[in-house]
C-alpha cells in the first residue's frame, strides 16, 4: 500500500509539472503582428491571457478589416485610436466579453486595448469588436498610482457586494437595501454596504485587493501610461518595437481629436 501511495504521489507531481510546463509554453508562444503606417511600422504581440480578444483581432486582421483603415482619434499624451473598416464601417457589429487581468497587464505606454461603449449602455464593459487604441499616456507618480489602486478596489468591492446580495439566502440584505434606498439615506447606505462587506470577509467571499506590482510601478513612473483606465478596459497586447512611431502619430496635427491628414494603416499577422 505504501508503494502504491508513493507511485500515485509521484504521478500526481509529474502531472502538475507537465501542466506547469504547458502553461509556461503557452505564455511564451505569442502571436505577433505588424502595423504598417505612413509614419513607420509598429511591431507587437497579443496576450494569451485574453484569448477572446486575441483571436478576434487575428480574425479581423486576416480578413483585411484594417486594410487602409486609419487612426481616426488621436490625443497627444493619451492614446491613438483606430479600428474602423476602410469602407466607413466603424465597428464589426458585435462585442467581445471583457477580459480584465490588471494583476498582469495594465495601461503602460505601448499597450494595445479595446475601446467600448460607456457604462450607462454597457454595464458589463464588453469591448468593441474592432475599435482599439494604443496607449501613449504620461509619466505617473507613486501617489497617483495609489489613488488608482483605491479606485480599482472600490469598484471591485461595489460589484462584489451587488453580486453577493443577489445570491439565494441573502434576501435579508435586499430588504434592508430597499428600505435604505426608499428613505434616500446615503449614510445608511454606506453603513449597510460596510455590514455586507464585513459578512463577506467573514465568509471568505470578499474580493482580493488589487495592488500594482513593483514592475508595473516602475514602468508607470518611467515610460508612463494611463492608469485611470485600468480595470475598466481590456488590455490584450502591446507594441514591442516602434514606440517612436506611436509618438509621431500622437503628435500629428488634429482638429478636435481627428487628424487633419489621415494616418493610414495595414495590420499584418506575423505568426
Which residues on neighbouring strands pair with residue 241, listed in sequence order? 43
pTM of the model: 0.83
pLDDT score of 10: 52
Q: How far apart, in whole angstroms, are the C-alpha atoms of residue 44 and residue 97?
A: 22
- In a domain, residue 2? The reply is no
Q: How far apart, in whole angstroms, are the C-alpha atoms of residue 32 and residue 45?
A: 4
Residues 174 and 112 occupy one common structural domain: no
Residues 125 and 239 occupy one common structural domain: yes
pLDDT single digits (tens) 15-34:
444 334 434 444 579 999 99
Residues 112 and 191 occupy one common structural domain: no
DSSP H or E segment with residue 82 = strand 79-82
- In a domain, residue 210? The reply is no
Residues 157 and 123 occupy one common structural domain: no
Residues 39 and 156 occupy one common structural domain: no
Q: How far apart, in whole angstroms, are the C-alpha atoms of residue 269 and residue 45?
A: 9
Residues 41 and 65 occupy one common structural domain: yes
pLDDT single digits (tens) 135-152:
999 999 999 999 999 999
Q: Containing domain of residue 132, as a range?
A: 31-139+223-269
Residues 48 and 96 occupy one common structural domain: yes
> Residue 45 corresponds to which cell in the numbers above?
504581440
Q: How far apart, in whole angstroms, are the C-alpha atoms of residue 116 and residue 188?
A: 34
- In a domain, residue 233? The reply is yes
Looking at every residue in the chain, the average pLDDT score rounds to 90
Q: How far apart, in whole angstroms, are the C-alpha atoms of residue 216 and residue 118?
A: 26
Residues 91 and 121 occupy one common structural domain: yes
Tell how far CA 267 is from the center of its chain.
21
Residues 123 and 252 occupy one common structural domain: yes
- In a domain, residue 42? The reply is yes
- In a domain, residue 192? The reply is yes
Number of domains within the chain: 2
pLDDT score of 90: 86
The domain that holds 44 is classified in CATH as 2.40.100.10
pLDDT single digits (tens) 151-179:
999 999 999 999 999 999 998 998 888 88
Residues 166 and 150 occupy one common structural domain: yes
Residues 133 and 166 occupy one common structural domain: no
Q: Which residues contact 83 (CB under 8 A, 6 or more apart)?
A: 66, 69, 90, 91, 115, 128, 130, 131, 132
Residues 124 and 161 occupy one common structural domain: no
Amino acid at each position: 500500500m505504501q508503494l502504491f501511495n508513493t507511485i500515485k504521489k509521484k504521478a500526481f507531481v509529474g502531472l502538475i509539472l507537465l501542466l506547469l510546463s504547458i502553461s509556461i509554453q503557452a505564455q511564451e508562444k505569442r502571436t505577433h503582428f505588424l502595423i504598417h503606417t505612413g509614419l513607420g511600422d509598429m511591431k507587437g504581440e497579443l496576450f494569451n491571457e485574453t484569448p477572446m480578444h486575441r483571436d478576434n483581432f487575428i480574425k479581423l486582421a486576416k480578413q483585411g478589416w484594417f486594410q487602409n483603415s486609419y487612426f481616426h482619434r488621436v490625443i497627444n499624451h493619451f492614446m491613438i485610436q483606430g479600428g474602423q473598416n476602410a469602407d466607413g464601417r466603424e465597428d464589426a457589429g458585435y462585442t467581445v466579453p471583457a477580459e480584465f487581468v490588471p494583476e498582469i497587464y495594465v495601461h503602460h505606454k505601448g499597450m494595445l486595448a479595446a475601446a467600448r461603449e460607456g457604462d450607462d449602455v454597457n454595464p458589463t464593459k464588453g469591448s468593441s469588436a474592432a475599435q482599439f487604441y494604443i496607449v501613449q499616456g504620461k509619466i505617473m507618480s507613486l501617489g497617483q498610482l495609489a489613488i488608482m489602486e483605491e479606485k480599482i478596489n472600490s469598484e471591485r468591492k461595489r460589484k462584489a457586494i451587488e453580486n453577493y446580495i443577489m445570491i439565494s439566502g441573502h434576501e435579508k440584505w435586499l430588504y434592508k437595501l430597499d428600505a435604505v434606498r426608499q428613505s434616500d439615506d446615503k449614510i445608511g447606505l454606506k453603513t449597510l454596504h460596510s455590514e455586507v462587506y464585513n459578512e463577506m470577509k467573514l465568509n471568505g467571499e470578499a474580493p482580493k485587493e488589487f495592488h500594482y506590482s513593483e514592475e508595473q510601478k516602475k514602468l508607470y513612473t518611467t515610460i508612463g501610461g494611463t492608469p485611470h483606465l485600468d480595470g475598466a478596459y481590456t488590455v490584450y497586447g502591446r507594441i514591442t518595437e516602434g514606440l517612436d512611431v506611436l509618438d509621431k502619430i500622437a503628435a500629428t496635427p488634429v482638429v478636435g481629436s481627428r487628424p487633419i491628414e489621415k494616418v493610414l494603416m495595414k495590420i499584418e499577422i506575423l505568426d
